[in-house]
Amino acid sequence: MALSISVIIPALDEERTILVTLAHTASLGFEEIMVVDGGSTDETPVLLESYRLGTQPSTLSPVQWITAPCGRARQMNEGAKASHGEILLFLHADTELPGNAKTMIGRALADHRTVGGWFDVRFDRPSIWGAIISRMMNWRSRLTGIATGDQALFVRRHVFEQIGGFADIPVMEDIDFSGRLKRMGATVALTATVMTSFRRWERKGPLRTILLMWALRFLYWIGVSPHRLKNYYGTIR
């Protein structure tokens, strides 16, 4: 019997992307989609409620939404609590899964030794910088076993609960989580790609953002508090 998968999408002021993400994700056959709004001040809640109340064909995944205190880690943890799937798939609101995502996750987790994994990533706006950054991200995650939220992390529910979910920190929650996850068993980097927005890299310029991200990760690894790093990280989101 196939494992049931709940897709959990943290959202904050995502009126430009949320309906596109929902429409695509709902077509992929997942058992459940849970959007967790962190207090949006734009039209995101209105759009979510309109989508929920609208007539959704039975062929699409059911979509629900809840609210939670702002903070990606907190929102994802609340989404996990409210969902029911045996597998939890955490998806950013500006990221599109490949069409065979459900099948690939099922195959990866058919091996009971595998506790979770992630996808390779590419950007929605083809460019030299986008190709360089995505290749670096994919190479790094395969080499280190550490992935970012852009790569759509997935995990068995009982493992997620066993390691305590995402740490309640303002940034680097994905790095912290994937580091703890790989200590629980085998993880897998799927070759299929998710397509995510390039907006974060464009905002301050690709090179400047790369250097800043490297600096922040280095500071995190040497023990600088994520609460201090948030002061700098927020400028590139």
Asked if 127 and 201 count as a contact pair (C-beta separation under 8 A), the reply is no
Q: Is residue 175 a part of any domain in this protein?
A: yes
Domain hosting residue 39, numbered range? 5-200
The rounded distance, in Å, linking the Cα atoms of 93 and 152 is 11
What is the pLDDT at residue 52?
85
Per-residue tens of pLDDT for the chain, all 237 residues? 688 999 999 999 999 999 999 999 999 999 999 999 999 999 999 999 999 887 566 668 899 999 999 999 999 999 999 999 999 999 999 999 999 999 999 999 999 999 999 999 999 887 888 888 899 999 999 999 999 999 999 999 999 999 999 999 988 999 999 999 999 999 999 999 999 988 777 777 777 777 777 777 777 777 778 777 777 765 444
pLDDT tens digits for range 172-224? 999 999 999 999 999 999 999 999 988 777 777 777 777 777 777 777 777 77
Q: Is residue 221 a part of any domain in this protein?
A: no
Most distant CA pair in the chain, distance: 51
Q: Is residue 215 a part of any domain in this protein?
A: no
Residue 36 — φ and ψ, nearest 5°?
-120, 105
Q: Is residue 227 a part of any domain in this protein?
A: no
First CA to last CA across the chain, in angstroms?
Answer: 40
Asked if 85 and 158 count as a contact pair (C-beta separation under 8 A), the reply is no
What's 149's domain CATH number? 3.90.550.10
The rounded distance, in Å, linking the Cα atoms of 156 and 111 is 12
Q: How many domains does the chain have?
A: 1
Asked if 160 and 88 count as a contact pair (C-beta separation under 8 A), the reply is yes
Q: Is residue 236 a part of any domain in this protein?
A: no
Residue partners of 76: CB distance under 8 A and separation at least 6: 8, 10, 36, 90, 165, 166, 173
The rounded distance, in Å, linking the Cα atoms of 151 and 144 is 14
Closest CA to 34 of 71, 116, 89, 115: 89
Q: Is residue 226 a part of any domain in this protein?
A: no
Q: Is residue 153 a part of any domain in this protein?
A: yes
